[in-house]
A = this chain, B = another copy of it.
């Protein structure tokens, strides 16, 4: 009753999952299964194009179940990101791309100007572009104007598990941008996933918080419920935050 639509494709699950960092393929498969996800992202750098099945990772993914979202992780220039996207399209047949143009090797933060430029190029070439960005409102508005199918602002540094360090900026992007906003990077726990969804995010993308949890498959299921809880909470309309108390029970009328 509440599907997510990106570029004309419908998803029932609002949890997107990454495929890096799992201890082994079986653990990854179990986590994907338990998460209920319908979209997985794979680093193009991980794909083995000499292998007709697309290399290790792709060999372990049942692409009849999961929509594939190749990503340009590791691209530090517009040129490299565009080249990776084209390679991925040729090899996998999908024109969807999670675009990353990284601007700093230490923090892996995006180069916003470069991301905007690469988005324009790839949209022009017929890609469905989901760019990784910070929660910078003006950049997100420009990405939307450039034809991005969704925007993917980070919650905090990738892999940091710090959660939504600046949720006011995320909320602002969600309120102003019309394409789906997918919160990406930094989610550390189910609470963070619920938080992003409660703010009105269309979906969240999670990798490290599942793959490096003590029990990945159980955490994947936790994230599944957290995303549903946050989405339902958003739709159900939360109570306002009050400065003072408001009793649940009558404070007069003692039956004594």
**A-to-B contact residues, CB < 8 Å:** 18, 20-21, 43-49, 71, 73-74, 80, 83-84, 87, 103-113, 116, 134, 136-139, 141-142, 156-163, 165-166, 168-169, 172, 176, 188-191, 193-195, 198, 207-209, 211-216, 218-219, 221-226, 228-233, 235-256
What residues of chain B lie closer than 8 Å to A193, measured between beta carbons? 229
Residues from chain B with Cβ under 8 Å of A116 in the complex: 113
Please give me the residue from chain B that is nearest to A212 by CB atom.
B239
In the complex, what residues of B have CB within 8 A of residue A235's CB?
A: 215, 218
Most-contacted residue by chain B among A43, A74, A159, A191 (CB, 10 A): A191
Tell me the complex Cα distance, A93–B176, Å. 41
Given A166-B166, A209-B239, verify A159-B190 contact (CB < 8 Å): no
Across-interface contacts of A109 in B (CB, < 8 A): 136-138, 245
Known: A45-B250, A112-B113, A212-B239. 19 other contacts (CB 8 A): A20-B247, A80-B254, A103-B138, A103-B142, A107-B172, A112-B112, A113-B113, A113-B142, A159-B247, A161-B239, A161-B240, A165-B168, A189-B239, A191-B191, A219-B233, A222-B231, A222-B233, A223-B233, A226-B233
CA separation between A52 and B21, bound complex, in Å?
Answer: 62
CB distance from A118 to the nearest CB of B (A): 13
Q: How many copies of this chain does the complex contain? A: 4
Asked if B237 and A106 sit within 8 Å, CB to CB, the answer is no
What residues of B have a CB within 8 angstroms of the CB of A162 in the complex? 168, 241-242
**A151 nearest CB across to chain B (Å):** 15
Pick 6 A–B contacts, CB within 8 A, sort by A.
Answer: A45-B251, A74-B251, A159-B242, A160-B244, A166-B169, A190-B198
Chain B residues within 8 Å of A166, by CB? 165-166, 169
Give CA–CA (A95, B141) in the complex, Å: 33
Cα-based distance from A139 to B21 in the complex (angstroms): 29
**A248 contacts B161, C-beta separation under 8 Å:** no
What is the distance, in angstroms, from A213's C-beta to the closest C-beta of chain B? 5
Instruction: Name the residue of chain B whose CB is nearest to the CB of A235.
Output: B218
Q: Are A46 and B250 in contact (CB under 8 A)?
A: yes
